[in-house]
Amino acid sequence: MITVLFSTFNGADTLPAMLDSLTRQNPPPGGWKLVAVDNGSTDGSGDLLRSFAGRLPLTVLSEPAKGKNRALNRGLEIVEGDLVVLTDDDIIAGVDWLSAWASVAGRLEEFDIFGGRIVPRWGMEPPDWLLSEVPLGPVYAATDPVWKEGPIRAGCVWGPNMAVRRRVFEAGHRFNERVGPDGTAAYAMGSETEFTMRLERQGFRCAHSPVPVVEHQIHAASMTQEWVLRRAFRYGRGERLQQLAAGGADDVLLFGYPRWIVRQWGERNLELMRARLGATEAERFRLRWDISRLRGALTVKADEVPVAAVAGERR
C-alpha cells in the first residue's frame, strides 16, 4: 500500500483540479490511501476536501496551528504501507503516478528518499525575463528534464512530488516545524529540503526518477517580478538556515552580520545602480533576485537554526 500525504492552507483555487486528477488514478499494487490535512484554512478548503470523500480513499485531518510541516507531522500519525508519497495541493497527477512510484521503490531498493519529475503548468505564457533569469527549481519546484534515474543530492528532492519509505518515519524522523510556510510572509523556504538534507547527513540516500510525473499549477499571480522577488527573500532565508545547520557558522562578522554576505549584497546593489543606465530588463532582474536573496540571508539569526526533529516533538 501507498499513502499519499499533503497539507493545504486556503487551497480552494487549486484543490479541485488536484483532487479530480487523483480520482482517475490507476491503483498501485496493494492499493492506496490519501491523507489530507487542513491547516487552518478559511476559504472552505476543508469542506471541499470532504466533498471528495466518496470518490477517493480519503481521510481529512485538521491541524489549526499554522505551519505546513506541523500539518505534515500530524498526517504522519496515520500513514500506512511501505511508501509515503508527499505532494502539494496544487499539482495535477497523471493516471499512472502512483503505479510509477511503486515501481521506482521496487527498482531502487538501496534508497530511502525519492524525488520525481515536476513540470510547470503555466497559467499564462511566461514572460522572457522569467524563463531566462528565474531559477525554476527554487521558485516553482520545476525539476530539470535532463535528470536521469539514479542518485541525486538531497537538495534536489522537492515537495510537490517526493516519496519516503515509511521506515524512515518509523525510526522517529519528522519534518522540522520551524521551517517552511507558517502563515507569515517572511518564512524560511525549504520545509522538505531541510528534512532531506538532514537525513542525508545521517546516511540516508536520495534518488531521482523522471517516471513519476506531476504538473505544478502556476497561476498568473505567481509570475510577476514582485512575487518572484518575495520568493527570493524567503529562499535566501532558507538557504542560509541550511548553511548554518550544516555547520557553516564560523563567519567573520561586520556589524553583527556575516561579512561575505554584506559584501555580496553591497556589490549587487552597486551593479544594479550602474545597470539602470543600459542593461536589459532581464539583466536588472537578475541583480534584483540576488539582492533579495542576500537580504533574506541577512535576516537569519543564530537562534533560528533548525535542530533535528523527531517523533513527538512540537517546536
Of the chain, the percentage scoring pLDDT greater than 70 comes to 93
Contacts (Cβ under 8 Å, ≥6 apart) of 208 = 114, 115, 116, 143, 147, 148, 149, 150, 151, 152, 156, 157
How high is the pLDDT of residue 249? 57
Residues of the chain under the 50 pLDDT cut: 310, 312-315
How high is the pLDDT of residue 197? 92
How high is the pLDDT of residue 96? 97
Instruction: Give the model confidence (pLDDT) of 199-237 as tens digits.
Output: 999 999 999 999 999 999 999 999 999 999 999 999 998
Q: Please state which of the four CATH numbers 3.20.20.70, 1.20.1250.10, 3.40.50.11240, 3.90.550.10 is assigned to the domain occupying 2-223.
A: 3.90.550.10
How high is the pLDDT of residue 241? 84
CA distance 155 to 162: 12
Instruction: Give the model confidence (pLDDT) of 118-159 as tens digits.
Output: 999 999 999 988 998 899 999 999 999 999 999 999 999 999
Closest alpha carbon to 2 in 175, 116, 164, 118? 164
How high is the pLDDT of residue 314? 34
How high is the pLDDT of residue 306? 58
Helix (H, G, I), strand (E, B) or coil at 105: helix
How high is the pLDDT of residue 214? 98
Helix (H, G, I), strand (E, B) or coil at 81: coil
Grid cell in block for residue 16: 479541485
How high is the pLDDT of residue 313? 42
Query: What's the pTM?
Result: 0.90
Q: In Å, how far are 35, 97, 112, 195, 270 from 167, measured between CA atoms?
A: 18, 22, 8, 15, 51
